[in-house]
Chain A
């Protein structure tokens, strides 16, 4: 079966750095996505990795290792507004998005 694992919840301090890990086992691979979702709102796109390596976009970076079935999202200079759920999703061989359950990130002052 297809499976995406990420931690249920993480806590970090304002101004610090946090890394959210995601491991996946899917039928084929056509890219990995990170989305941010505030409570009661729609997921919003953060990043996309299809090749191994690091993609940097401002305070957010995402890393992919296809051989390990592993990705992480790195958030720097954390702000209170970064408190949200972070969803890892993989597009499989049928071009369907397979979703993880999300990691709830709590930022403390």
Chain B
């Protein structure tokens, strides 16, 4: 069964450093998303990506964040100058016409 793959599964970084979270969406999907979930809190939408550009972004997705689809398969989330409050699980998802399928997430810990 096709699945969304995320790497790394866990990333520890020092405050102020840049991190890149990687995702390989399901190959025939057209819509890609990044979400985050702070421990014990709800899933929060960050950004959606369609046709090689951002289609929607939330208030959380400020200049600190950027997304790229550098080739035909990878979808990355870059977080510049990380802060302690960026510590969370980051989920990538992709969808066709109906449901979104999630990757297993990257647990980001900023120390």
Contact = CB atoms under 8 A, between A and B. Distances in A.
Q: Do A and B come from one complex?
A: yes
Contacts of A70: none
Chain B interface extent, by class? 10 to 19
B45 A42 contact: no
B42 A100 contact: yes
Contacts of A44: 102
Contact of B45 (A40, A43, A96, A102): A96
Nearest to A45: B99
Contacts of B98: 31, 48
B43 A87 contact: yes
> Quick one: which of B33, B91, B100, B101 has the most chain A CB within 10 A?
B100
A9 to B, nearest CB: 12
Contact of A33 (B42, B44, B99): B99
A101 interface: yes
Nearest to A96: B56
Contacts of A43: 43, 91, 102
